[in-house]
Structures are given as structure tokens and as C-alpha cells.
Structure 1
Amino acid sequence: MKIATLSLAAMLAGFAATGAQAATVKLFCGATDYDLCSSAAEAWAKQSGNAVSINKMPASWDDAVPLYQQMLAAQSTDVDVLVIDVIWMGMLKNHLLDLGTLVPKEEVAAHFPTTIDAATIDGHLLALPWYMDTGLMFYRKDLLEKYGKTAPKTWAELTETAKAVQDGERKAGDADMWGFVWQGKSYEGLTCDAIEWVASAGGGTVIDDKGAVTIDNPKAAAALALAHGWIDTISPQGVLGYDEESSRAVFESGKAVFLRNWPYVWGTSQAAGGALVGKVGVAALPVGAAGEKSSGCLGPAYLGVSKYSENKEAAVSLIRYMTGAADQKRRAIQGAYNPTVAALYDDPEVLAKLPFLKDTQAAFADSIARPSSATGASYNRVSQAFSKSVHAVLTGDEKPEAAVAELAQQLEQLKKRAKW
């Protein structure tokens, strides 16, 4: 697929042709990708005739939320461009500039529709997608080949395949082998995992995009029951305390057949000298029921402009540059960041760096959003209630049907108080 974009020079010339005076745009860059972010902003500044002032976000993105809320509540002009997690969109919606009439439609359409939908609230486009994250399935392709298995398409197939390979390896002498590791600790990671199970089974997303509580249904309960059945059969008891890094460590030590995690694991598992170089396959997550889509949890990062910016025109110009195809390609090649521009998934240079993108494009396109837009400032409470309820099912402290019914009641009460 050919990427239909203007040349970088032409794009920047277009941005500068507005006649606006030079501005200093103030932005945040994340700690982990500071160099990539700051170099893009500085390149834009040099070629557009503007300037940038860059601040580093806290190392933990969770710590950025109160900082943002304080600045925006004060209508501060100390920041123009914000790095935004998808789940903050509803929380920050009243403070972000509507980009709908400020960004050409063809630029918006270049991104995966799921990323645009997640950034659109009440018809307002509040941010532009910058890079993509979604839940993926990593697997030991060498072990699947050894046992004549293929990458599973459903959770039931994964359960069966994981057990067969696990048991085969244990009989061969590897007593510590497990079939499947994932994020079972009661935190946001479990919210992501469980929404994937439920949505891919046709059980919805806990709360729909209109704010209705939907979790109390048989398909959702069945999805949680299946996951409970993994504990001590294909997943260790310890998975109930795993986060992304602890589950990755088990997989990369060679002690698991399958891993659910984020795309960054491709880079860590294939680092020079690693035990799994050349042995890892990547695929979209399985589905829970026939006819449903693979529903990896949507986790993109965005760039948005503060309503209180004194440099709105220049700030929009900057985020168009940083989220455009040219710089997303650079980030993919130099930093292994997954693009949100769909056409880059056919780009030979990008695929040379991230070969799994060719086989997982559907996973990125079909990602499922958490209910953050509908619930706004209440999202954290919703997520905590959901992950706590799911964890109780996984430990066996709650039956799935009772857990989803009780959760629905809790969320209805929260909805009444918060009026989302």
C-alpha cells in the first residue's frame, strides 16, 4: 500500500504559510522516549521557524495525571501540547482543543479508525494518535512446531494447545514449564486482559459507549470462568500477582509456551544474546466465540493541545508533524514504536524493523477500547472495581455469575453518584 502524504518540506511549508508569527510551543515528552520526542519537536521548530520548550513527563505516567489536572484546572498557559494516554481522554475532555476542523480529513483518515474513535467524544476530536499499543499473543513457535501445533485462533484452542505442549515439555524433563502467562494482579493490566476475554466472547466492554452498564451477561461470566480454569492447569498460581514485567520474565526465561503482553516484548525477546532469539511468534489474541473479533486492549498514546494555549495554531502544526506518517515511520525504525498510520504496516523499511506487524495488522485495527470516554473522571474507580471483581473470580473467591451481577450493581451506584 502506498502512503499518500506530502513531502516533509511541502508539509512544513504549508504549516508556515499561514502568516503567523514565530511561536514557542511548550510540550511534554515522555521519559522513555524523550530523545525521539524531543528530536521530532526540534526538527519541526527548525524547519517551521518556531521554537519549542520541552519538559520531561514523570517516569510513571500515572504521576502525570495530577500534574495535568492541576495545570489545566488553573487554565495554565505553561503547556501547549500534552502527551495523553487513551484512558485519560474522558478525564481531560473539557480542557482539550477540538481538532476536528483544524486537521485535514485525509490526515485523520490515515490513522486506524479505532484510535480516532477513542479520541472522539461528543463529536469532538480531542487528540491525534501518536503510537499504537494493543494486547498481543506471543508464543514459542519452536515448541509449537515440535508438537505439530499451530497458533490458536480461539481461547479454547489456546487452552488445549498450551496444556498439550506444557505436558509434553514436562514429560521431557522441564518440570517448570507452563502453558500460558499473563497479567493476573488486580490492577489496570488485569482490566486490559479481562476486557479482552470478555469482548472477544461477545460480552461487551463493561460499560458501553453511551454509559450503560453491560457487564452482567452470560457471555462475560463464561469468559471469566474460562480464565479461572487456567489457574494451576496452564497458568501458575503466581500469575495472580503478575504484571507485564513479571509475566515477560517467565516467558523470556523459556518457562512458558504462550504470553499475553504488549508489543514491546518483541524487542526485548529478540535482543541480541537472548535465549529466545528466532524462537518467538506473534499473533493477534484469540477470540472467545465464533464470529467475534480479536479484541486486544487498545492502548495508544496521543498528542493533544490545551484549550488554554496561547500558541494554538503552532501547537496544532507541531502535533500534525509529530503524528504524521513521516515521523511515525522514523519512530518505528529508530525506536520500535508501532505506528497508528495504517499504511506503514506495509512499509518495507518498517517491516524490516518490526516484522510481526505484517501478521498482526488486524490486531491493531480491531483493538477494543476501555470505557474511559464514557466514564470520564470516574474511569479509575470503574477499572479498579472491575479488576477487583475479576481477581476474585480468578482466585475462586467469587463465582463468575455472582461476580458480574455484583459488579453491575456497584457500577450502577457509581454511575448515579458520578452522573456520567
Structure 2
Amino acid sequence: MTTARTTRALRSAGAVLAGLAALAACGAPGGTVAAGKPSFEGRGPITYVAGKDATGSVQPVLDRWNKLHPTEKVTFIQLPTDPDAQRQQMIQNAQTKSDAYTVLSLDAVWTSEFAAHRWIDRLPQDRFPLARMLGPIVETGKYRGGLYAVPASSDGGMLYYRSDLLKRAGIERPPATWAEMTADCAKVRKLPEAKGMSCYVGQFQKYEGLTVNFAEAVNSAGGVITDPVGAPHVDTPQAKRGLDFLVHSFRSGIIPKDALTYQEEDGRRVFQAGKVIFERQWPYMYALAAKKDGSSKVAGRFAVAPLPGLKGPGASSLGGHNLALSASAGNKATAIDFMKFFSSEQLQRFTLAHAPAAPTYKALYRDPTLVKKYPYLPTLKKSILHAVPRPRVYQYGDVTAAIQREAYAAMTGSKNSEQALKDLQKALQLPAAE
């Protein structure tokens, strides 16, 4: 999941976007697909619907498309930054069978819900270069064997840490376990320059970010939230060990109480201000924290590593956004061509250079030029390949709300971990997506 992207607005888009001209112009005439398969018909104006673009990266891309397709222009509809609000507005549009929304930017975990309700169309797999993408990312766009969404970006959580302070404390490598992270924090806090610093923060406000952080804790302790067919398994010793890590960390002060109000941007600002040693965060923060224009006090003083777990490296939740086609939309031939353009390797290379996201294509992770410029890419690839999807269930809205409610209750002390997980197990007895 990516719920915040606050990189600087693009200032040099023109030259790179010019290189996308051929791709943007290569739409299949008439919207036909391979012989013997149904076509997606209709050409004309469409809309692209996504969360608010704080990066300034989307409109220049749409402008390029629109210049080359004057009769098939794309209008950008920006929804709120909060993913729960985005999902609700997309569902409302689908339930009214409105044609106002055409191409939807779905959080990767919403695919099963939207496909099961037939709010989005099954897509022609042969129109997209799925074999060139990382396997776990492609799977987020599938439901019951069919492709319902095309990966446009991915995301994996990483541990950002103050490499300078760990080195001064005599710590040679980043922590691989929660116990190591706690011990490292205690050593670093003894340094005069670390006085008053917090140890660890993530995203713990009662919103989708809490679902992500809870899922990572459970998965990193050897547990699961739901099995492959959607049945819940949270009333287990493994899940309890994961939740206990969060509960005990808040109780002991390893995680500051303020983090109960944190979304992505809150934690980013705290880390960049030099007030925390470790942070769980998405890759978008790397470029911002590395800025040497005075906006970041930790530029040149941090690095990234895989998330720690109970007995070794942990498991990230698999984030990202996929492109889906609203079932009630018109001009679907145009929509398919636009989705192919917007999810292309060439465009992702551009996006990585100007508004960093996690690419979906394998080649971009091994490109020497990109790896030199973005040294976090190898770690990010490992995070994605070992990531665990959030529950792929029919009623995802109910599932994430229940997770947030019970995890928050345990972290704030209104319930103990055992009771919270028993209540969550009961709440998650819902129809499975697959």
C-alpha cells in the first residue's frame, strides 16, 4: 500500500516524457484484442481516478497522452489522500453504476473485493507484459485465476535507520530481529547526540496504515491473518507474539505514545528532523530524507534494511497501486490503451527518476544506473519478494476495520492481546475471496 507520496513536483518532465511519445501513440486501433477473444470497444474521453497527487508527477504524464490523443483525452479525478476515503468513493461510484470513473488506481489489496462484486472488468492478460514484472506484484492484480488489475507501482516496507549513530555506538550492522533493535536502541540512546530520541516509529493511527503494521508484526512472528482461502487464523500463539511486540513496545516506550497518531507523513517528518533512530516506512521517503537542501537533518546519515522480525528478518506487507477498469465505464478501448501506457516500463523508469516509487519490472531493479542513484533498490526488491499480501477477502472493508479496532485496543491498553485477538478471530469470520 502507498498512502503518501510527497516528493517534489516534477521540473524536468518534458525531455523524458518526449521519449514516451511512441508508446503513448501505439494504442491498438479500434480496441481489438487477439483473434477469437472479445474486444473492449469504444473510443473517446476517459477519466483516471486516484488519490491526491502531492508529487506533481501525474498531470505531466496525462498531458503527454492528451497531446497525442486529442479525441481520447484523460481527465484526472483526484480523491482524498486517505485510502479508506478513496475506496469508499470508488465503491459509491460502482454501486450507482456511474460512468464518471474509468480507470481506477486501486490499492493492491482491493482487487479481490472489487472483482468479486463485479465493479471492475476482467482484463485481457495478453495485452500487458506481465512476465517482465515481479511475480508477487502480478498476483495482486488477480482474482480466481483472472487478471482484474494491472500493476502500476508496488511498495514494500523497509527499516530506515540512523547509520551514523549505530556506527558511533559500535554497532556494525542493522538489526535483524526485534530484540536486536531494542538492544541497539539502548546503546544509541547513551550517546550524547541521541539524547531525547525515540527508538522506533511506524504508522499506528487507526487507518489502513495500522492494518499494514499489524499484519507485518503478525507475519514477522510466523503467523498469518488469513489463510489462502480467506479463513482467519489470528487466535494463535504466533499472532499473539506479533501483537505483543507492538503492545510491549508502546508500554516500554520503545515506540512513543505519539506514534498512535502517526500516518506516513508524520513519521517521515519525525525521522527527517532527527528525532527517531528507527522507522518503518515505504521507499518514497528515501529521496526526501536524502535531500541536502536543509529540509532533512539526516541527509547522508541514514540507510535502509529489511524489516526486523521475531527470529530474523521480518515480512513486509505488499503495497502498491494497480490499474483497474470500471465495469460501468465507457470508451473501454481507450481505457485499455491508456492502462498499457500508464503501467509501462518506460513510464515507471521516468517515475522512479522523478517521483520515486517501487517499480513493478524486474529489469529496473538490476539497472546499474538506477541502483547507483537509488541504493535502496536491492533492499526494496528483497522486501517485495518476501512480502505477504494483506487479507485477500471478499469484504475487505470490514476486515481492515476490525483489524484496526482490535489492534488499537490492544496497543492503547483497553484490551489485552489475547482478548483482542479472540475478538478479531470472531470478527473475521467472513466470506473468502478465493
**TM-score normalised according to structure 1 size:** 0.86
Answer yes or no: is the 8 Å Cα contact 1:32–1:59 preserved in 2.
no
Which residue of structure 2 lines up, in the alignment, with residue 138 of structure 1? 160
Residue-by-residue CA offset, 1:74-105 (whole Å, 9 max, x unaligned): 3333332111112332332112121244424x
Residue correspondences, number: 400
My pick for the range that moved more, 35-44 or 211-220, is: 35-44
**For 1:133, what is the secondary structure of its paired residue?**
strand
1:41 is displaced (CA, Å) by 3.2
Pair 1:315–1:193, CA change in 2 (3 A): same
Runs of 4+ residues deviating >4 angstroms: 7-14, 17-22, 45-50
Does residue 1:99 correspond to 2:123, yes or no?
yes
Does residue 1:161 correspond to 2:184, yes or no?
yes
Answer yes or no: is the 8 Å Cα contact 1:130–1:303 preserved in 2.
yes
1:217 is displaced (CA, Å) by 0.9
My pick for the range that moved more, 77-86 or 145-154, is: 77-86
- Selected match of 1:77 from 76, 95, 99: 99
- Measure the CA separation in 1 of the matches of 2:259 and 2:125: 47
Q: As a proportion of its length, which structure holds more helix?
A: 1
Residue-by-residue CA offset, 1:240-259 (whole Å, 9 max, x unaligned): 33332333333222121111
Residue-by-residue CA offset, 1:332-372 (whole Å, 9 max, x unaligned): 1121222121211122443354321133310122222111x
Which residue of structure 2 lines up, in the alignment, with residue 408 of structure 1? 425
- Selected match of 1:51 from 62, 65, 72: 72
What aligned pairs does 1:9-408 form with structure 2 within 5 A after superposition? 15-16=27-28, 23-32=44-53, 35-47=56-68, 51-60=72-81, 61-93=83-115, 94-104=118-128, 107-149=129-171, 150-166=173-189, 168-169=190-191, 172=192, 174-204=194-224, 206-231=225-250, 232-271=252-291, 272-273=293-294, 274-290=296-312, 294-371=314-391, 373-374=392-393, 376=394, 378-408=395-425
Alignment gaps of 5+ in structure 2: 1-18, 33-41
Answer yes or no: is the 8 Å Cα contact 2:104–2:324 preserved in 1.
yes
Answer yes or no: is the 8 Å Cα contact 2:66–2:74 preserved in 1.
no
Pair 1:18–1:380, CA change in 2 (3 A): closer
1:186 is displaced (CA, Å) by 3.0
Alignment gaps of 5+ in structure 1: 1-6
My pick for the range that moved more, 257-266 or 240-249, is: 240-249
Q: Percent identity, please.
A: 28
Pair 1:249–1:41, CA change in 2 (3 A): closer
**TM-score normalised according to structure 2 size:** 0.83
AA at the equivalent of 2:97: Q
Residue-by-residue CA offset, 1:137-169 (whole Å, 9 max, x unaligned): 100000111112111112222122122212x12
Answer yes or no: is the 8 Å Cα contact 2:152–2:322 preserved in 1.
yes
- Measure the CA separation in 1 of the matches of 2:297 and 2:166: 17
**For 1:300, what is the secondary structure of its paired residue?**
strand
Which residue of structure 1 lines up, in the alignment, with residue 39 of structure 2? none
Answer yes or no: is the 8 Å Cα contact 1:29–1:37 preserved in 2.
no
Pair 1:275–1:71, CA change in 2 (3 A): same
**For 1:15, what is the secondary structure of its paired residue?**
coil
Answer yes or no: is the 8 Å Cα contact 2:200–2:254 preserved in 1.
yes
Answer yes or no: is the 8 Å Cα contact 2:203–2:259 preserved in 1.
yes
